[in-house]
Amino acid sequence: MRLNLPFVGIPTYLRSPIVQDLSKLDADLAILGVPNDEGAPWYPGARMAPRAIREQSVRYAGYGRMQARGGYFDIEEERRFLEYETENERIVDCGDVDIIYSNPEQTFKNITHSTSQILAAGAVPIVLGGEHSVTYGVVRAYQDSVCVVHFDAHLDYRPFLHGAEYGNGSPMLKIGKLPHVDRIVQIGSRGMRAAQDDLAESLANGNDVYTMKRFRAAGIERVLAGIPKGQKVYISVDIDVLDMPLVPGCASAEADGMSYEELRQTIFAIVREHELVGFDVVEINPMLDVASNVTSQLGAQLAIETMARAVLNPDYLRRKGRPTEPDGQCAAATDA
């Protein structure tokens, strides 16, 4: 058995097998990189994030193998996660969408096409951006109704000034117009660069908007109450939802954001009650990050932890034909 230390080998996400022909995809969770940052009006560099996130993810891949087991052990919960998925190769890395520079229309067609193939295979897309405009290309691939839960320091409801339709400040405005998006829940907005008209339009379109102040006053249960029972969710995380010191590799960071614990526990609560049908993490910029690549590492860890809880959702397990415990969670021993 190889030791496969983090600096050895090809850095696929979590050392998952590669699937390049999506017409032959057989997986539960499909990693898809979207290295596009043409919509960034400030510092470029988010195009390098899928590669950097993959490199950081291999740091989480080896410890289970050292114990001749898959998945990972959460010392705080004293429980293993993703053991079934890693041992049975149910997580795969689908590589990156082809980016056609200076041709955003074709790039976004490629994003939607790849996402559609993943969905047709019955897998959950786990998308590594790229800047935030790419989320629109992903979400428009869905056909069934979804609730989009949007973690971000900004509303991303900027109008299309000068025809800049594919900017990273506008994806939620575009997503809100899709017929299958029933509701958008926006969490984490703050700062001095918000536009009053954008807030008014988001609220007029029926979205729930939780500024950081409102989120902390209302709590997670209030957020959950706004998502209809039985509704499937797509979660989009702009890494700038986290507090500025946590994300040095982010061009749009704002002060007084979420702690990592606030973010992860909110996501855990959502995917416990609602089936996750897609996830992305965007706006990580390795060209701005510190030498230890902590922002890319945070992105890698957040995706891992989100997947780990999403596969315990009872609706997800029933769809996969796998057993649930009385509390709706899948026992690790059942799948080992």
**Distances from the Cα of 4 to the Cα of 81, 83, 96, 112, angstroms:** 20, 18, 23, 34
The 10s digit of each residue's pLDDT in 120-138 is 999 999 999 999 999 999 9
Strands 79-81 and 72-74: antiparallel
Residue 5 lies in a domain: no
Residue 325 lies in a domain: no
Residue 90 lies in a domain: yes
Sign, CA torsion 218/201/235/164 = negative
The count of structural domains within the chain is 1
CB 154 within 8 A of CB 193: yes
Residue 4 lies in a domain: no
Domain range for residue 266? Answer: 13-309
The 10s digit of each residue's pLDDT in 193-230 is 999 999 999 999 999 999 999 999 999 999 999 999 99
Residue 331 lies in a domain: no
Residue 25 lies in a domain: yes
Write the CATH number for 275: 3.40.800.10
Q: Give Dmax over CA atoms of the chain in angstroms.
A: 59
Residue 286 lies in a domain: yes
pLDDT beyond 60 at 327: no
* pTM attached to this predicted model: 0.95
The 10s digit of each residue's pLDDT in 40-68 is 999 999 999 999 999 999 999 866 555 66
Residue 274 lies in a domain: yes
Say what percent of the chain tops pLDDT 70.
94
